[in-house]
């Protein structure tokens, strides 16, 4: 079973600050996805990274896939209250049709 550990589990910061959340595993993934989930809703895809070392930017969000494709990070610049939510990473194992979800990071941005 491939495990994805996310850290921190909880994060509460002031509006305007920067933050980074991490997604780590001992397994290699062929691709990795990041989702955001708001209360009472299903997760919504933010980005997919597929190449080791890949960096993708989505406005104030920067996603990076580790060189060895075992880890990923999400950096948010100048956090806003609208960034509040549960952030989930999900990895597709090599030769595996199923995604494994991480443990999640619950982010709260205080106005």
Tell me which residues touch other proteins (CB under 8 A).
1, 4, 6, 9, 30-31, 33, 35, 40-45, 48, 88, 90, 92, 97-104, 106
Judge whether 64 and 55 are in contact, CB under 8 Å: yes
Q: Determine the Cα–Cα distance for residues 78 and 14; give it in Å rounded to an integer.
A: 9
Smallest distance, other proteins to C-beta of residue 32, A: 10
Q: Residue 39: CB partners within 8 Å, gap ≥ 6?
A: none
Smallest distance, other proteins to C-beta of residue 78, A: 26
Smallest distance, other proteins to C-beta of residue 72, A: 14
């Amino acid at each position: 079973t491939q495990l994805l550990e996310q850290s921190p589990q909880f994060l509460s910061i002031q509006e305007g600050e920067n933050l980074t959340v991490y997604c780590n595993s001992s397994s290699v993934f062929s691709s990795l996805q990041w989702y955001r989930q708001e209360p009472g809703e299903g997760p919504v895809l933010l980005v997919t990274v597929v190449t080791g070392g890949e960096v993708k930017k989505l406005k104030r969000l920067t996603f990076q896939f580790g060189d060895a494709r075992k880890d990923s990070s999400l950096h948010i610049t100048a956090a806003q209250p609208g960034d509040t939510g549960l952030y989930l990473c999900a990895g597709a194992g090599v030769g595996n049709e199923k995604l494994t979800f991480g443990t999640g990071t619950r982010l709260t941005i205080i106005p």
